[in-house]
Structure formats: C-alpha cells, structure tokens
Structure 1
C-alpha cells in the first residue's frame, strides 16, 4: 500500500514538474476578464442606483442616524 501511494505521488510530482506552466493569462483572456468585470460593474451600478435600493439605503442611514442609545 505504501509503495503504491509513493509511486502515485512520484508520478504526480514528476508530471507537474515536466508540464509547461502558464505564467499568466493571454491577451484574449485579459479581454474577456475585462469585459466581464466592466459588465459586472455596470450591473452593480444599476442595482445600487435603482429607486428601490436607493430608498432602502436612505432608510437604513436615516434609522442609523436617528437611533438612540
């Protein structure tokens, strides 16, 4: 059992060492990531500035400021 585990670990470690590692994203991955981040930012902005969310946030702030200790 121990030999089998050692052999598998050795195969995994040697396989990782021999494989080519990516240093980072390529240009197309950067572009897709940037577009996704921008789309998420627009969606978040739309949600936060909507009337319902804006009213709720104002209500929370008013209740926090009017709270008595």
Structure 2
C-alpha cells in the first residue's frame, strides 16, 4: 500500500507511524549470508577448485588437449 492509501484509511498521524514501522522492518531484513554460510561456501568453492585443478592437470586431459591441438594443426 502507498502512503496515500494509509492516510485515507488511518489518518495522517497513524500513517507516519506505520510508514516508519514498515521502513524499520525493511532495514532489519536478512540481506545476505551469515559468517557460517560464507565459510561453508568458501570451503565448497576451494574443494571444487581443487577437484577442477586435478582434472585439468591429469594425464588423460593433457593427452586429449594435445590431440585436439595436433588435429587442428594438421587440418591447416
């Protein structure tokens, strides 16, 4: 509801109180993650990065990339 509707329903004095209360609740809403959620997200990201690093640096991946590059060079 807009401020005008509150004024029409409750009068100008109560509208100011109501608007301030709504704004106070809006400021207190949870806007993000808490510290423990950041920590868990960081641990998950580091674990995923480690896994990705292992896959990229494995011999099978290196061989597959080398074959792709060789095929591209021989096609020219």
Same fold (TM over 0.5): yes
Instruction: Give the structure, 1 or 2, with the largest relative contact order (CA under 8 Å, sep 6 or more).
Output: 2
Task: Give the TM-score, by structure 2 length.
Answer: 0.59
**Structure 2: gaps spanning 5 or more residues:** 1-21
Structure number with bigger Rg? 2
Provide the C-alpha distance between the structure 2 equivalents of 1:26 and 1:67, rounded to a whole number of angstroms.
54
**RMSD over aligned Cα, in angstroms?**
1.8
**Structure 1: gaps spanning 5 or more residues:** 1-16
Residue number among 23, 45, 48 corresponding to 2:31 in the alignment:
23
Aligned length: 52
Deviation beyond 4 Å, 4+ runs, structure 1:
17-20
Task: Give the TM-score, by structure 1 length.
Answer: 0.64
